[in-house]
Structure 1
Amino acid sequence: MKENVEQFSSKWGVILASLGMAIGAGNLWRFPRLAGQYGGTFIILWFLFLFIWSIPILLSEFSIGKKFKQGVIASFAQAAGKKYTWMGFFITVCTLGITFYYSVVTAWGLRYVGLSAALLDNTTALENLNQSFLDQYWQSVANGSVLTVILHIGVVIFAVFMLYQGIQQGLERVNKILIPSLLFLMLLVAAVALSTENGPKGLQYMFHIDPALFFNSKVWIEAVTQSAWSTGAGWGLMLTIASYSREKEDVTFNILVSGIGNNVASLIAGIAILPAVFAIASDDAQAISYLQSGNTALTFTIIPLLFAKIPYGEFLGVIFFIAFTMAAFSSLISMIELCIKTFTDLEFKRTKASIITAVLCIALGMPSAISLDFFSNQDWVWGLGLLISGLFINFAVQKNGIQKFKEEYIDKDSSIIIPTVLYKSAMYLNIGIGLFLVWWWMSQGYSASPWFTEDGKWNFFDVYSNATIVTQWGGVIVVGLIFNNWLYRKFVK
């Protein structure tokens, strides 16, 4: 078995890397909408699923990476068994599918930093800023923009350059700067937003509990999916980070800090956005309408308008989009490290692995940089695929025996011992949760023709069809099954 020689310098290096992986654009653009839509009811359920779904899976991932000190494919194969190597392959491809378009999200953030900065020195443009202009600007940024493509390429090159230097000089150093800076900027935005006339009203609305919503299945679904995707449970990223951990690394403490820290960051983002929404809305109904307008709409076509209409809003807009870009980049570098680690497991030198990773990320991310439809399709397919990845992690634990796995993988070197009955219950419960979520998501009818077109053809090219999900997942699984033994030999032996 090949082992890493690189390690984080301290447990805080691991924790900051874990926080950087978890705290991403979703904290700033998806959570505020859901918190605004469902209030305190959603927040309670979201915290509940942090401990039911996310933390148990993250504990499992981290302990596998810590034990085997290799990337996702090699570590998973050793944890689950040789004939299940294909599952580790699926987890890797699923996360890489997200990596290839996540640099585009970072590029979008930079575009809006530029727009916000331009408004600082142009009073006329700021006063005339309207919804129609922002809608058109968003379409120009997300579809066929040469500047967005250039920024996508630049973001990938910069990320790979930072990482090729190694774990301590690359990933650890970047996160020591990114995470404290990101949290400071988010707190600053929240403080200014709360200082507006109706700001506290937004905060009150965010934490208001409507008991009736506890009986709304959609709120439960939104809560568990937000927790799963925001914390990075099932991505394989925590496994990759743990492969560079020290021999006696505290598994449970690191995961609890990472998971709870991610949720705190989301709350800060909500505290920043919701008061700003209520500050400029003419009434509560309009504020709620803003919040329910959708992820990308809220972030890119409404947030600039909000900040333009509150005191010091033009400065706040710049700060917000810098924070957004930093959040996206902090997650991106962990994803790119997973790709680099995959190639170093194949005994490529880190420099060569970094170059290959850069070429792959630039080339395969290009379609998403050019077309919003392609971007949305990949987000749809591989975002949902993370639930399958989480189930595969769960499977690896079950193969070892849950209690035995916990005692030998998680509890060893942990300063905090979670009761076995809680971990066991969560892992069994998560099988049902994961399968139900996949079924529910695919049964919602996001496409008019989920499986076949009107003329009977397989509806693969529809952005949100079930056919495109099954085809892309199926292709990866078939390849993994065909090359299962080869993957095991190349990565493990």
Structure 2
Amino acid sequence: METLNKKKDGYSSRFGLLMVMVGGSVGTGNLWRFPRLVCTYGGAFVIAAVVSLLIIAIPLVMVENFAGRASRHSAPGAFRDLLGSKWTIMGTFATLCYFMMHCNYTVILAWVVRYLFMSITGSYFGVEDKLELFTNVASADWGTAVCWLVPMALVFFCTNRQGFLEKTAKFIVPIMLVILVGLACYSMTQPGAVEGLKYSFGFEFSELLNANIWIQAITQDFWSLGSGTMLCVTLSKYSAKKEDIVVNTNVQGFGDISFAMLGTLVVLPCIFTFAGSTEEALELAQSGNNGVTFVGLTNLFETLPMGRVIGTLFFLSLAFAAFTSIIAVTTVFAGPFIDMGWSRKKCIAGAIFFQVLLGFPSFMNQDILTNQDTTWGFGIFIGGMFSGILAMKFGARKMREKFINPVSDRKITRAFDIKAGYIAPIVSGVVLLVWLKDAIGWDEQWWNPFRTESVGTLLFQWAAGFVVAYFFAKKFNKDTIGVYYDPDKEEFPEIPERIMDEV
């Protein structure tokens, strides 16, 4: 009887659930994009990021946590069960966006792993032209291919059972935290580090009126926490019936931004201490994610005391961040097919195979990677709108009063109804339109669907994605097993036995 009681929940502990959620959210953007934006926009960006986290990102993730637990399905099945079969396409398209975005992300993992080994051996130390070195590493190099395929094989062993996913997250996330805390302590003790942080975090209140800072902050929150990706729909379908949604979601949100702040305390002191001047530090910080990480920081690691050790630990934490994100997205993409009764191992293997297959063009050509990253990265704002529509149509008030608050120690107020059902989807749409407007200026042939970063390529690929999602949604409507949500029972259903079998 004791054994049966222990197998009642999909996660072995609350800590395990939180590590999976935080590990799925924390990615490379926490350690390279967030610090770069702090350096560019100062403390105003940090304030905007926290505000948008509270008003937009966390409410959307809370909706997605509710949807997974209420339906006990991944996103397509959740939209089907909670709103009706005609809405399944929303969950399907959002899942597709998240998957496509991460197909090229696996290639970035390969770059990071390659640089991890180069840090261990010191092989980039003494190389004068580190931009050329990065170009060679990122241009279909055989060594990078090994650093791509081996970690992707490891993803299978970490995800072919739900319990393995939890154990992996419980191992990696705390280690990543310890490494970053250690690196931050080291960086902060370097001469001039404090002055650099003062420069980076300082701001004038008038800067909070800068719309671009808010756009960047909201975008960072979406890409980092995973709002609109349906990540938490899949992960929460395994959570216990009475697991605290409010506290868990807030821990996930602030855990994610805490990792980003740690990354900032690691990167910015190094840049400002060892760059020749403030102007040089700013130029490096604003040189783009790849410029900061694979060119600028590797140059700086050469000048640091114990530079090889620091570089190794930095790229190890970066590799851990990328790896935990990839094991999460593999589970998310496999989820709808598992819901149809397919073998979990086969679904996971298929998800890995297609990540490699669809990521191969990005591995061969950085322009294709840029195209795919832009297209599907902005596509998750569509997913944000869909999560907001779910809250609006199901009823954010009903969601809050009948489901979320009864299982949560910390109660959410009526403000959630407005934030989740109105503010979040509207802001998601506005931010997407702003990015599309800006994209018109990126390319004179903005209408051309065959350009790298044109509005035309975004709209064309999204349209193709909706066509694919339409046909898959019909399949999911027909073959997704079970309807566990009962509208006559205003409580979360127990975890079905067939889901427990995955654990």
1:103, 1:155 within 8 Å by CA — same for their partners in 2? no
2:45, 2:214 within 8 Å by CA — same for their partners in 1? yes
200-209 or 177-186, which deviates more: 200-209
SS at match of 1:91: helix
Aligned counterpart in structure 1 of residue 456 of structure 2, from 435, 454, 467: 467
Alignment correspondent of 1:24: 27
2:152, 2:352 within 8 Å by CA — same for their partners in 1? yes
Alignment correspondent of 1:63: 66
**Mapped partners of 2:115, 2:475: distance in 1:** 45
Aligned counterpart in structure 1 of residue 444 of structure 2, from 449, 452, 470: 449
**Is it true that 1:320 corresponds to 2:314 in the alignment?**
yes
TM-score by length of 1: 0.93
**Is it true that 1:270 corresponds to 2:264 in the alignment?**
yes
Alignment correspondent of 2:421: 427
Aligned counterpart in structure 2 of residue 372 of structure 1, from 362, 366, 381: 366
- 1:5 Cα deviation after fit: 8.3
**Is it true that 1:147 corresponds to 2:143 in the alignment?**
yes
Amino acid at match of 1:188: G
Alignment correspondent of 1:234: 228
Alignment of 1:63-212 (within 5 A): 63-119=66-122, 126=125, 128-130=126-128, 133-164=129-160, 166-168=161-163, 170-212=164-206
**Mapped partners of 1:153, 1:460: distance in 2:** 31
**Mapped partners of 1:478, 1:408: distance in 2:** 36
Aligned counterpart in structure 1 of residue 11 of structure 2, from 4, 8, 12: 8
333-342 or 148-157, which deviates more: 148-157
**Mapped partners of 2:309, 2:71: distance in 1:** 47
Amino acid at match of 2:211: S
**Mapped partners of 1:286, 1:294: distance in 2:** 14
1:55, 1:259 within 8 Å by CA — same for their partners in 2? yes
TM-score by length of 2: 0.91
Aligned counterpart in structure 2 of residue 480 of structure 1, from 469, 490, 493: 469
- 1:99 Cα deviation after fit: 2.5
2:75, 2:234 within 8 Å by CA — same for their partners in 1? yes
**Mapped partners of 2:441, 2:134: distance in 1:** 22
2:89, 2:469 within 8 Å by CA — same for their partners in 1? yes
1:42, 1:220 within 8 Å by CA — same for their partners in 2? yes
Alignment correspondent of 1:309: 303
1:196, 1:311 within 8 Å by CA — same for their partners in 2? no
**Is it true that 1:282 corresponds to 2:276 in the alignment?**
yes
- 1:256 Cα deviation after fit: 0.5
Amino acid at match of 1:240: T
**Mapped partners of 1:367, 1:294: distance in 2:** 22
**Mapped partners of 1:483, 1:34: distance in 2:** 38
**Mapped partners of 1:64, 1:482: distance in 2:** 22
Compared CA separation, residues 234 and 409, structure 1 to 2 (3 A):
farther
78-87 or 52-61, which deviates more: 78-87
2:111, 2:137 within 8 Å by CA — same for their partners in 1? yes
Alignment correspondent of 1:384: 378
**Mapped partners of 2:204, 2:119: distance in 1:** 36
2:64, 2:387 within 8 Å by CA — same for their partners in 1? yes
Amino acid at match of 1:369: F
Amino acid at match of 1:183: L
1:233, 1:390 within 8 Å by CA — same for their partners in 2? yes
2:58, 2:253 within 8 Å by CA — same for their partners in 1? yes
CA RMSD of aligned residues (A): 1.8
**Mapped partners of 1:234, 1:156: distance in 2:** 25
Q: Share of identical aligned residues, percent?
A: 29
SS at match of 1:408: helix
**Mapped partners of 1:391, 1:192: distance in 2:** 42
Amino acid at match of 1:143: S
**Mapped partners of 2:460, 2:437: distance in 1:** 16
SS at match of 1:241: helix
**Is it true that 1:50 corresponds to 2:44 in the alignment?**
no
Structure 2 residue runs without a partner (length 5+): 1-6, 483-503
- 1:37 Cα deviation after fit: 0.8
**Mapped partners of 2:104, 2:70: distance in 1:** 31
1:39, 1:210 within 8 Å by CA — same for their partners in 2? no
**Mapped partners of 1:465, 1:318: distance in 2:** 37
- 1:6 Cα deviation after fit: 7.1
2:98, 2:329 within 8 Å by CA — same for their partners in 1? yes
**Mapped partners of 1:397, 1:422: distance in 2:** 10
Compared CA separation, residues 446 and 181, structure 1 to 2 (3 A):
farther
2:92, 2:472 within 8 Å by CA — same for their partners in 1? no
Aligned counterpart in structure 2 of residue 395 of structure 1, from 389, 395, 408: 389
**Mapped partners of 1:312, 1:351: distance in 2:** 43
- 1:225 Cα deviation after fit: 0.6
Structure 1 residue runs without a partner (length 5+): 453-458
